[in-house]
Amino acid sequence: MIDSRKIQEEFCEERNWNQYHSPRNILLALVGEVGELSEIFQWKGEVKKGLPEFTEKEKEHVGQELSDVLVYLIRLADRCHVDLSTAVLNKIEQNRLKYPADKVYGKSEKYTEYIEK
Ligand X SMILES: Nc1ccn([C@H]2C[C@H](O)[C@@H](COP(=O)(O)OP(=O)(O)OP(=O)(O)O)O2)c(=O)n1
Site residues, ligand X (CB under 6 A): 17, 20, 36, 68, 71
Q: How far is the CB of 72 from ligand X (least distance, A)?
A: 6
- Name the percent of the chain in helix, strand, coil, to the closest 5: 70, 0, 30
Q: How far is the CB of 36 from ligand X (least distance, A)?
A: 5
Please say which residue, 36 or 93, places its beta carbon nearer to ligand X. Answer: 36
Residue length of the chain:
117
Please say which residue, 13 or 93, places its beta carbon nearer to ligand X. Answer: 13
Q: What is the sign of the dihedral through the CA atoms of 46, 47, 53 and 58?
A: positive
Please say which residue, 54 or 99, places its beta carbon nearer to ligand X. Answer: 54
DSSP three-state, residue 69 = helix
